[in-house]
Structure 1
């Protein structure tokens, strides 16, 4: 099946599969968040700087800040530039992973089945030494396609496991909101801001 695809088609197929997985993950996360909100009832957004709570605000207020940030066209431009940079980094990583896949495969074969690995190498040399350049080219093409597919899988998996940070992903919308929160709560400019939703205390719910 993969042998009938060109290299760029294989990369596009792997990229499309990665986008589908990412979209499904986003959908699941949003539904889980909504379900938690319905189960927990009223919530409060607690703001942390480097893991230390520096304040809190109503969840509605925090979501309104996010909504205002998403209406800022300049942030969309900044996010688009960030996505282009991520694409370049992932493309570079794809070609870096190809020799890594070959090296890992050869190492595993030599460690687990050295005799079988030797026979495979001999068969590969026989194919490459054939007088027909077309057959040798097709063999190399097939090997590269499989390597590209495995490399694309590794790149996608590393992106998901690192939540994109390994390749420089930035959520500029959240960063804009975090900047506003720093100003409102007079927090230092340095440090990582995070916002977590917690169930509001009963007393707070009663006053609300």
Structure 2
């Protein structure tokens, strides 16, 4: 029985191969590095804060867009909203804005996981573990190219 090998591809081009045992040893070494756990927490926090910043910067555009859609498709409703805002006291307006913001935040909380699953490139989270593993393997194989590293583990072809 032949040992399995790990074929290494960078940016879709095969750049070399390693024995699976060597690959597993490198992966275990990377997993034992405690600094990477802290780096992962910082990277994950940064990704979440980036998404929150995108959400809050796009929030005014979303609210204005909803009002414009309301004016375009239901002018009576929009006129009623404007008339109520003109006659309402400030506390009622604040309460309504807070309810609208709460609804938008709930919609955001529901949409974020769907966006992360359907469009993973939009989140832009790069795991420090993957980066360290890629750096170790590229160093071992002497591959100077940066890029997406993909490892396929399989059995060597018999001739």
Task: Answer yes or no: same fold by TM over 0.5.
Answer: yes
Aligned twin of 1:94: 55
Q: Displacement, 1:52? A: 0.8
1:121-200 pair list within 5 angstroms: 121-163=78-120, 165-188=121-144, 190-200=145-155
Return the TM-score normalized by structure 1.
0.63
Unaligned ranges ≥5, structure 1: 1-41
The answer to whether the Cα contact below 8 Å between 2:70 and 2:78 also exists between their aligned partners in 1 is no
Measure, in 2, the Cα distance between the counterparts of 1:134 and 1:197: 62
Which runs of 5 or more structure 2 residues have no equivalent in the other structure?
A: none
Say which structure is richer in helix. Answer: 1
Contact 1:102-1:147 within 8 A present in 2 as well: no
Residues of 2 paired with 1:200 and 1:48: CA distance?
16
Structure 1 residue 52 and structure 2 residue 5: aligned? no
- Which protein has greater RCO, CA pairs closer than 8 Å, 6+ apart? 2
Instruction: Provide the C-alpha distance between the structure 2 equivalents of 1:62 and 1:103, rounded to a whole number of angstroms.
Output: 53
Aligned mates of 2:43, 2:143 — CA distance in 1: 26
Q: Residue 69 of structure 1: which of 23, 30, 40 is its match?
A: 30
TM-score (norm 2): 0.79
Deviations 1:96-124 (A, max 9, x none): 2322322443454455x2xx2x1111221
Residue matched to 1:79? 40
